[in-house]
């Protein structure tokens, strides 16, 4: 009987100790730092909720700057104190360049643009206003205005006010005359120098623009000398020597030919 009593006592003590251990275990679990667990209770699930692969925050994650977000995202401080959002496409409203997938948000446009649009300036006698970003986020040309009076550019951003040389004119088919650019003259037009003429030829003896240099003896570019049209080089009239090419008692007998005994 005594043996049985001792056995019962021993069994009761063991059962009591097991109950105490179970209680202590529950208390320890209650003290675990819940911050390591995700909203669903699992450690791995919580990590995925806070960030994407490699610890980079995914869309909707909190952030302090765009460097906290993924490569295709930007940090928007106006959403929940800082939230990672997908970068915007061309033509969408923007405030900062990092909001745009292209990386371009012109300050005076306020939309994401595909590229940095060209600045304005003066090129080849034409003033170009700066390009602008259109509604689709593409660079569109600004207004183009020729420099006044056919003048060329003074520098990279402005036009000349007058000319001193033919090269100051915008067009190669113009020349400078008394500070103004005027069109080159056609054949037959009265000229002072070769640069006045579209043909580049102004024979000194004739004073008109000519279709050739017309420099041989007994040829001319004036109709009054050749019997033809002004501006067309031809032989002077037979037995004449209007420019004194032959001298003495000889006269012109054709281009480059003198003969006879007086005109």
Say whether pLDDT at 2 is over 50. Answer: no
Tens of pLDDT, residues 91-135 = 999 999 999 999 999 988 899 999 999 999 999 999 999 999 998
Q: What is the pTM of this model?
A: 0.57
Tens of pLDDT, residues 195-249 = 999 999 999 999 999 999 999 999 999 999 999 999 999 999 999 999 999 988 8
Contact 260, 251 (CB under 8 A): yes
Tens of pLDDT, residues 17-75 = 343 333 334 343 333 333 333 333 333 333 333 333 333 444 578 999 999 999 999 99
Which region, left, alpha or beta, applies to residue 41 given φ > 0 means left and ψ of -120 to 50 means alpha? left
């Amino acid at each position: 009987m005594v043996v049985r009593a001792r056995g019962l006592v021993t069994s009761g003590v063991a059962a009591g100790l097991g109950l105490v251990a179970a209680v202590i275990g529950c208390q320890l679990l209650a003290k675990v730092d819940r911050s390591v667990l995700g909203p669903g209770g699992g450690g791995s699930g919580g990590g995925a909720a806070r960030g994407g692969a490699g610890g980079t925050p995914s869309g909707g994650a909190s952030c302090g700057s765009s460097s906290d977000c993924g490569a295709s995202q930007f940090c928007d401080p106006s959403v929940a104190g800082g939230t990672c959002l997908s970068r915007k496409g061309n033509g969408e409203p923007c405030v900062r360049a990092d909001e745009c997938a292209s990386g371009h948000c012109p300050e005076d446009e306020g939309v994401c643009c595909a590229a940095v649009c060209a600045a304005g300036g003066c090129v080849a006698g034409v003033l170009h206003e700066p390009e602008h970003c259109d509604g689709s986020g593409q660079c569109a040309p600004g207004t183009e205005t020729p420099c006044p009076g056919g003048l060329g550019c003074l520098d990279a951003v402005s036009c000349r006010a007058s000319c001193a040389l033919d090269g100051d004119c915008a067009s190669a088919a113009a020349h400078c005359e008394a500070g103004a650019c005027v069109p080159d003259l056609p054949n037959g037009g009265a000229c002072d120098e070769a640069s006045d003429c579209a043909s580049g030829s102004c024979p000194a003896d004739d004073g008109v623009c000519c279709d050739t240099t017309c420099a041989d003896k007994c040829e001319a570019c004036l109709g009054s000398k050749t019997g033809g049209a002004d501006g067309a080089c031809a032989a002077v009239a037979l037995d004449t020597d209007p420019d004194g090419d032959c001298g003495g008692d000889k006269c012109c007998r054709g281009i480059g030919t003198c003969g006879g005994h007086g005109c």
